Amino acid sequence: MKYLKQLLLTLLTLIMLTAPLNALASAPVNINTASIEQLQSVTGVGLKTAEKIIAYRQAHGNFSTVEDLCLIKGIGKTSLTKMSAQICIE
């Protein structure tokens, strides 16, 4: 029984150390250079929203601030709040 507990503890430790690292370590997505796929990795951004972001960027140039996303129809303050920790501009 002691061996089984030790084995389970070791396995849980390994899982905890490896699984969340990819999600937590990912860098914010730069909305001025991101591809459709990169934009879709952001919470609340699907294909249509990613396409709108890129279309807006192509028509108007780079975003000056993250808040400029609210200039795109369908992206409001609530949406921006959900994605703000995962996006940036550079």
Maximum distance among all Cα pairs of the chain, rounded to whole angstroms? 66
Q: Is the pLDDT of residue 23 over 50?
A: no
Q: Has residue 2 been placed in a domain?
A: no
Whole-model pTM?
Answer: 0.71
CATH of the domain at 72: 1.10.150.320
Interval 32-75: pLDDT, tens: 999 999 999 999 999 999 999 999 999 999 999 999 999 999 99
Name 30's Cβ contacts closer than 8 Å, sequence gap at least 6.
87, 88, 89, 90
Predicted pLDDT at 11: 61
Give percent of the chain with pLDDT exceeding 70. Answer: 79
Q: Which domain holds residue 52?
A: 27-88
Asked if 39 and 54 touch (Cβ cutoff 8 Å), the reply is yes
Question: Does 9 fall in a domain?
Answer: no
Please check whether residue 32 lies inside any domain of the structure: yes
Number of domains in the chain: 1
